[in-house]
Amino acid sequence: MIATQPFGRTGHESTRVIFGAAAMWGVDADAAARTLDVLLRAGVNHIDTAASYGRAERHVGSWMPAHRADFFLATKTDQRTRKTAAAQFAHSLERLRVESVDLLQLHNLVDPGEWATALGPGGALEAALEARERGQVRFIGVTGHGTTAAAMHLRSLERFPFDSVLLPYNCTMMQNRAYAADFEELAKVCAGRGVAMQTIKGITLGPWREPTASLPPGERPHTTWYEPLREQRDIDLAVDYVLGRPRAFLNTAGDLTLLPRILDAAARSRGIAPADAEMRALVERAGMAPLFV
């Protein structure tokens, strides 16, 4: 089984691997049903989805009448104003077929202008707070992509006591000295304040390489927008790299074919980060490259 740990100060013991429901963006109902079986067998008890993930909320919603109590349920809004975020979240509740979620996250809040709007008067944060007051949300988080995500999350935590953050973390990302410094500072702040730290892009190989990069996304061998690691031994090292960091959570990749491999690696992980030499060898062997520059 996959290890659990406290999801920040929420009081929930979440599996260290969180199901990233972006993997169900365009799948059919049969694939969604099979995915539920995979998660239940693995003991995964935390789902992360978003209003912008295609049909993902609808698929997760098909599970909720029978399995709401089995999962810590998180979704996201990518809207920046109070009015539009509230409307989007109302649709999320309908699609998820629930009266409330455990965590609502302000999605990819890294652009300074959007940040100022979302956290300012009449911004999306106000919609999240109102939803919390109504009992439709228990906790509020913030997510981000790119090389400025850690720094922007630090700004966000100074503005508001978010319950969770989500951002990229992998060995090539941490070779960026500026990002690594911001990430380590964020990790200290999160540990001190009881903020849950979710990580994404954990098994990224890099941007799609030619000739695959020239193919339409639907013709690529995986549904991730980046090229993922595929070999089990490589995924094992990448998963250990994330789970070897205390208090970090690993959100699974946006491809259902990779899900069993990630869960298998997590179930066998001892939570100890590989040696630097092992990770350097992986980078060289697989030809890993930074996804965000």
Structure-token pair, residue 49 = 């989805």
In the chain, domain spans: 4-286
- 30 Cβ neighbours under 8 A, 6+ residues apart: none
**What Å distances lie between residue 50 and 57, 91, 95, 132, 191, CA to CA?**
7, 11, 11, 17, 25
Give residue 215's pLDDT: 84
CATH topology of domain 4-286: TIM Barrel (3.20.20)
250's tokens: 């690993």
- Here the contacts of 193-196 (C-beta below 8 Å, separation 24 or greater) are 193/9, 193/157, 193/161, 194/8, 194/9, 195/8, 195/9, 195/157, 195/162, 195/163, 195/164, 195/165, 196/7, 196/8, 196/9, 196/10, 196/14, 196/141, 196/163, 196/164, 196/165, 196/247, 196/249
Strand 4-6, strand 13-15: pairing: antiparallel
- Inter-residue contact 67 to 99 (CB < 8 Å): no
* Exposed e or buried b per residue across 107-117, where buried means at least 16 C-beta atoms within 10 angstroms of its C-beta: bbbbeeebbeb
Q: Find the DSSP H helices in 97-243.
A: 112-118, 124-133, 149-159, 177-193, 232-243
- Mind listing the pLDDT tens digit of every residue in the chain (293 residues)? 899 999 999 999 999 999 999 999 999 999 999 999 999 999 999 999 999 999 999 999 999 999 999 999 999 999 999 999 999 999 999 999 999 999 999 999 999 999 999 999 999 999 999 999 999 999 999 999 999 999 999 999 999 999 999 999 999 999 999 999 999 999 999 999 999 999 999 999 999 998 988 888 888 899 999 999 999 999 999 999 999 999 999 999 999 999 999 999 999 999 999 999 999 999 999 999 999 98
pLDDT of residue 219: 85
Q: What is the DSSP code (8-state) at residue 81?
A: B
